[in-house]
Amino acid sequence: MNRINTNIAAFMAHRSLNMHNERMYASLRNLSTGLRVESAKDDPAGLVASNQMRSEIVGINAAMNSISRGEQIISTAEGAIAEINELLLEMQGMITESANQGGLGDQERTATQQDIDMILESIDRIATGTEFGGTKLLNGGLDYETRGSELNRFDWVHVNSARLGTTGAPLDVHTDILVEAEQAEAAITLNGGGVFSTSMGLTVSFEITGPEGVQQFTFADGTNKLDMEAAISTFADELGIEVDLSSNDELIIRSRDYGSDQMVNVRVTEANGQDANGSGFVKAFNGTQWTVEADNEHTDNGVDAQVLINGQMASVQGLVARVVANGFDLEVRIAEEFNATSGFNFQIVSGGAFFDVAAGVSRSDLATLGIRSMSTGSIGGIDGVLDEIRSGGSAAIADGDLLKAERIVDAALEEVASIQGRLGSFMRFTLESSRNTLGETLEQVTAAESSIRDADLAWETAALARHQILSQSAMQALSLANSQPMQILSLLGSA
């Protein structure tokens, strides 16, 4: 059907031309911008998903930057602690050399004490001066604060990590001692009057072995328990034992510390008879009373306490209990005078360093770590702290207790090594592991976001060529459609 007023074919060709031109322009835009989705009309659902993924990418990048900063903080603290460890090792050598009473004069010993004082000052200077971004790292400012009237039930409480709740409310800690710790113990038989008595005036030799050494002792018939205690106590520190004079029926020898790693052995090495009462020379405690060992030898091991902390069975060595679970890492040492089946309560109220290890800002996305003070007034063990080794202190090498000084430094080295190892573990298994996980997540989310928003250049190039051809075809078709009404003029002319 031929019409003049309405050219349907031209309309169709024009519509196709506009459509192909729009698609060609879209391909040109995608090729020039590199984007498939530039505005909501391009892909409404895809744009929403892309924006959500972009938000995740921003959060992941922020968390990775935070982790990198956290690693720098921990590295700074760990480096300072490593230097403290080196200073302690040097001081340990000085104390060992000072034990050579015959080889060192008073002036040399005084000079060594001055060197030790300088080392202690250096340790305090490192503890107070180590900082990152204006935050002191080793002065105790990043340690947790505890509160409670029953804290005196412990020699110390170390909070390595704790989650204080979404509002930062205090964390209640309840400690239950189910089984009390025990020392290793054995005894030498006395006659009931506090005297070592044998038949026929015998002289008896004993070998006493403690957790840290072994020593021989010989006691004659009629020796008073005070003299026996004086002889054994001379070597008590070297053996790791202590002597109990509370009974006149036996001289009790115990390990200085508690736990399954403590051992005491008492045995007769030379004797030809029994004591005046017809009993042996060595006794063992059966839980209720002391009984004679027929073979004149007894070996005993200590017992670790059994402790629950917030309902979880703690790992215990002697009186030291530790529990690690769900972001909670607590270590305590029960005071000897409270080593009995009972329960104690206290609170962790604040403190710790927070590290963002996930793409969020909630407390569940934060890893926490407590870094306690590394000052000389804080580092040490049950025998004391480093500050006691200063001039005038109870463990000063000039006129103090050298064995005590040695034990303090040994405990300080152990504590420093533990803190250093914990920082390394936190960096490796918390920060570095989280960074690796976030890096993998970032890669996948970025790839997903790119597949939605970015243009496939190969596809867009092919599409552009196609639309160009179709556009030219539509242009030709429009030209033909516009020429069709001209044919009607030929009809009018022929008329």
348-399 confidence digits (pLDDT tens): 998 888 888 877 656 566 788 999 999 999 999 888 999 999 988 888 887 7
Q: Is 384 helix (H, G, I), strand (E, B) or coil?
A: strand
DSSP 35: B
In this prediction, residue 273 has a pLDDT band, given cuts at 50, 70 and 90, of low
Do residues 110 and 305 make contact, with C-beta atoms less than 8 angstroms apart?
A: no
- Is the per-residue pLDDT at 129 higher than 90? yes
433-453 and 44-98 helices cross at what angle (nearest 10)?
160
Least confidently predicted of 165-169, 224-228, 265-269: 165-169
CB-based burial of residue 153 (10 Å sphere; 0-12 exposed, 13-18 middle, 19+ buried)? buried
Do residues 415 and 84 make contact, with C-beta atoms less than 8 angstroms apart?
A: no
Q: How far is CA 292 from CA 247, 277, 469, in A?
A: 15, 11, 111
- What integer pLDDT is reported at residue 479 of this predicted model? 78
Query: What are the pLDDT digits (tens) for 448-462?
Result: 888 887 777 777 788
Q: Which of 92-101, 200-209, 219-228 has the highest mean pLDDT?
A: 219-228
Q: What is the mean pLDDT of the chain?
A: 86
pTM of the model: 0.78
- What integer pLDDT is reported at residue 206 of this predicted model? 93
- Is the per-residue pLDDT at 187 higher than 90? yes
Amino acid at 240: G
- What integer pLDDT is reported at residue 270 of this predicted model? 84
- Is the per-residue pLDDT at 44 higher than 50? yes
Q: In what order do the strands lie in the sheet with 185-189?
A: 241-244, 250-255, 185-189, 282-285, 290-292
Q: Which helix (H) or strand (E) holds 119?
A: helix 106-129
* Token pair in block for residue 47: 């744009």
Amino acid at 46: G
- What integer pLDDT is reported at residue 361 of this predicted model? 59
Query: Who has greater pLDDT, 326 or 223?
Result: 223
- What integer pLDDT is reported at residue 276 of this predicted model? 41
CB-based burial of residue 322 (10 Å sphere; 0-12 exposed, 13-18 middle, 19+ buried)? middle
- What integer pLDDT is reported at residue 488 of this predicted model? 67
Query: Who has greater pLDDT, 114 or 327?
Result: 114
* Token pair in block for residue 124: 């305090």
In this prediction, residue 493 has a pLDDT band, given cuts at 50, 70 and 90, of low
- Is the per-residue pLDDT at 242 higher than 50? yes
Share of the chain above pLDDT 70, in %: 89
- What integer pLDDT is reported at residue 277 of this predicted model? 45
CA 332 to chain centre: 15
DSSP 1: -
Q: Of 173, 170, 180, 184, whose CA–CA distance to 332 is shortest?
A: 173
- What integer pLDDT is reported at residue 341 of this predicted model? 94
- Is the per-residue pLDDT at 213 higher than 90? yes
- What integer pLDDT is reported at residue 177 of this predicted model? 96
Do residues 140 and 372 make contact, with C-beta atoms less than 8 angstroms apart?
A: yes
44-98 and 402-426 helices cross at what angle (nearest 10)?
160
Domain extents for the chain? Answer: 8-34+455-494, 185-301
- Is the per-residue pLDDT at 304 higher than 60? yes
Q: How far apart are CA 349 and CA 409, in angstroms?
A: 31
In this prediction, residue 325 has a pLDDT band, given cuts at 50, 70 and 90, of confident
Q: How far apart are CA 24 and CA 143, in angstroms?
A: 65
- What integer pLDDT is reported at residue 364 of this predicted model? 61
44-98 and 106-129 helices cross at what angle (nearest 10)?
170
* Token pair in block for residue 411: 């405990």
Query: What are the pLDDT digits (tens) for 10-43?
Result: 778 778 878 877 777 777 777 777 777 776 676 7
Cβ neighbours of residue 364 under 8 Å, at least 6 residues apart? 166
- What integer pLDDT is reported at residue 102 of this predicted model? 54
In this prediction, residue 167 has a pLDDT band, given cuts at 50, 70 and 90, of low
CB-based burial of residue 268 (10 Å sphere; 0-12 exposed, 13-18 middle, 19+ buried)? middle
Q: How far apart are CA 245 and CA 236, in angstroms?
A: 14
- Is the per-residue pLDDT at 286 higher than 60? yes
Q: What average pLDDT does range 150-161 have in this prediction? A: 93
- What integer pLDDT is reported at residue 101 of this predicted model? 59
Do residues 419 and 425 make contact, with C-beta atoms less than 8 angstroms apart?
A: no
Least confidently predicted of 200-204, 239-243, 383-387: 200-204
Share of the chain above pLDDT 90, in %: 49
Query: What are the pLDDT digits (tens) for 49-87?
Result: 888 888 888 888 888 998 899 999 999 999 999 999 999
Do residues 225 and 195 make contact, with C-beta atoms less than 8 angstroms apart?
A: yes
